[in-house]
Structure 1
Amino acid sequence: MGPADVKRQAAVLLALMASPALAQQRDLCPERPGLDTPACIVDRGRVMVETGVVDWTLDRQPDNRADTILLGDTLFRVGVTDVLEARIGWTPYGHERIRDRQTGAIDRAGQTGDVSLGVKASLLHPDGSGFAVAALPFVTVPTGGSRIGEGVVGAGFLLPVTYELSETVQLDATPEIDAQPDEGRSGRHLRYSTAGGATFKLGQTVSLAAEGQVIRDDDPDGRTTQALAALSIGWQPRDDWQFDVFGIAGLNHDAPDLELSAGISRRF
């Protein structure tokens, strides 16, 4: 056996060793866009960066109109094990503009947002296939300004659930319970919600999601119940990339009128 034969056999052996690893790479599973949180976990040793390039929320009340714009709202997800990922999120800049309907006076503020820290642990099917369930506890650290940030440490727990009905349809549900900072920033109160919907694959690279959410907030300064509906589109031109747009409409008086966002997700 000559040197050339040895090299060929070594190349074949390396290819055989590499092919299982490549086959085990999970489908891209970003948490953007939409109201639900998927149950899938980032691959071990991989990093997912999800950024809301721009996000605008309109909230019209009888006495004022509030426009809030967030720029670069980013979530970093790191695959620690096959069933566990670590997460950190931060909003580098937010701008709030409030116009008084009676006087016409305008109040503006531009600040950074808070930092969120959490982990997501798979309880069933970490790749998101079939019937998948995960647990997601998190805390929010008040590092931002008083207008964009909460001002008080908060915490919460999500239970993402997904079920693949077929190769083209997936059902999603995300119940959540939070220790939400009070509006008056003197403490925390109970906030709980549930989101649900369906994701449809429109082809190899495009998906469409239709979702709804109900949020109950027991703030001492005023208890509210928000009802929301959302529609989002994701486009994955490559295995590790996604571009998205989504819109959320408020369905009752307590909910903000409209939210529009566009973002990008990248796996490294």
Structure 2
Amino acid sequence: MPIRYLFKQLFLPPGGLLLLLLAAWWLRRRAPRLALLCFCLGFGGLWLMSLPLVVEQAARALEPASALPAAEWSQLTQRAEVIVVLGAGRERGDPAWGEDVPSLLGSERVRYAARLARVSGLPLLTSGGLHYGLPPSEAAIMADSLQRDHGLTVRWREETSRTTWENAQESARLLAPSGIKRVVLVTQASHMLRARWCFERAGFSVVMAPVGFLGVANARPFGGWLPESKAVWQNGLLLNEALGRLLYPLLYR
């Protein structure tokens, strides 16, 4: 995990773009033209990454799955047997809570899954292992949030996975004794297609329940053309997802 984390932070934006700017400075006398190219790529990449407009357009390309209509929530028992909520990291030791809590994305998934569970009556499975190798697991943190904040008891906790592929494989192992093969899958809209691909290859029939759509009108002044710090984070998530979709079919055939 530390090596994977190191390479990911170094070469994906903004790390990779900052390296280009550093290379431009180092090459400014040795190879001025190459330095100019590195500067343009680094600066231009950071500028694009900071634009809400780029978030909106990139998300539209990565979010082809439609939202699950609210009118269908009460009939989910006809299509699925369990709601699976995928982990999305955690916030460590927030003094306000006095404990680890789901990340912003994780909290969004938990809230949506809780609403689906209340309306449909389906049981819940939380999936997510140790974040950077430290307990408690993401699955346990989400289960605790569902219990304390929404009054819902999680029936299954999958606490060993580290990737989306492992989310699917370990969930299949956990549900196998119950013979469950039909799931409602809750994750971010941009992550949904890759998650569905993994769960289908684990033998599941998937009802998609995406949340957190970014490909909607950004509602920013000047149409989202002004840089914004939040957009850097969101574009980083979208780029990570785009790379994941390219690599997963090669890594997990």
TM-score by length of structure 1 reads: 0.27
* Structure ID, larger Rg: 1
Structure with greater helix percent = 2
TM-score by length of structure 2 reads: 0.28
Structure with greater strand percent = 1
